[in-house]
Structure 1
């Protein structure tokens, strides 16, 4: 024991790894275990007469998802909403983060201002937008707002997840030396050329990091769609409907594997691009 203690004393990284082993083990059991249960239950079915879950291997749920056009349409619609929200967040976040990191003298105040909406209740913010988008509401009377539907869903989700895009980009810009911007200006580069050649390559890993949050959160969201989406259906709504009214947990689990697989493919693509290694 004495020799082991002295060995760990000489190797602090091993001592730290030992301290973190229990939390990491719990994370693996809780997170990966839940995903494993989700995947296994997706291959079960429900008895149409009794409503009981039949715990026998079957591809019926996935066969239905692949053959029924409605599920393909919902998947494509969900992908479109998630991609639109991500693009909108990038377009808004880049100038905001640049102003916060390189222009303003009140960086800490602006960071707190960006974080403040995250402290408010998700439901409160969603219902506040429902009031704004309602017929004869503030946005409808002033701007001719989109009302309820897929446009309202994209708008509200963009508002919800914008801080998750601003903060990684802000962190990336903080690592960008001002001397590079000054050198680019001294060499005669205009603002657009400086952004493309100097700023954007540094920001790409941060943009990918932020997109993981905005894309995944939008892909699986169902609360905002329920509140402002009107008749719009996304993947999250189908999962919720099959858990609730339909009482078909295996089929809900099968549908829930769609965003999981999409995010796995997306993460592999981002990792292959090398962006994650530069974070």
Structure 2
């Protein structure tokens, strides 16, 4: 019984060993090639369980997902010979597993190194054909699209990979250029500030002059209205006086004389040089003569 159990265990182990040497699994995120003594005999092996010949065949697996190559910031010159520091990255994936293996021996580092060199050359050429404004905002998307299309053809033919996307993360000016640019921007902002201040002062002077003009107009109109009201009041007063005078001329003349006396002798130092029988003392003289009688 023990011999039978040992035989079964031996057969199982032998089957596992044979299976491990003849079967291999390719995951959904992988692609593979099968080699026979270093020569590719099966290209682009799809996900699943596959067979191989022990010893004779070797399986190489590669990541089939989209990979990212983050390049180091590089210095480029624009059309105006202005230097910029560009930080970019590339999204790529394996398109032909066999060609990728032949070009890089399946080493992603080798692929990134070659791809980085191609991207650097492409960016240098594209930036050299455009102005600073175009690479920063005007034609940035167009530049990336053209570079992706051009580089994709080269990458597929040389490395067996396809370029999914190329993007510029940021564009900076070199430190020596940044200071001069900031100084120029500062000068420009100060000039604009002076222009705004001068325009503000001009508007203030206009508003102040208009306010002064309106003040003069309002005062003149008020003075005119006051004179008109005063004239109307004087006219009404004269009409009332005339009406009263016609009703009793003697009383009106007497009342006006009393007012004249009151206003004339209101001060203690007032002095008049008049004839005693002057018309001004008409009622005073009449009162004296009446008192004597």
Q: Please state which band the TM-score falls in when normalised by the shorter chain.
A: under 0.3
Higher helix proportion (structure 1 or 2): 1
Q: Which structure has the highest strand share of the two? A: 2
TM-score for both structures, normalised by structure 2: 0.21
Return the TM-score normalized by structure 1: 0.22
Which structure: larger Rg? 2
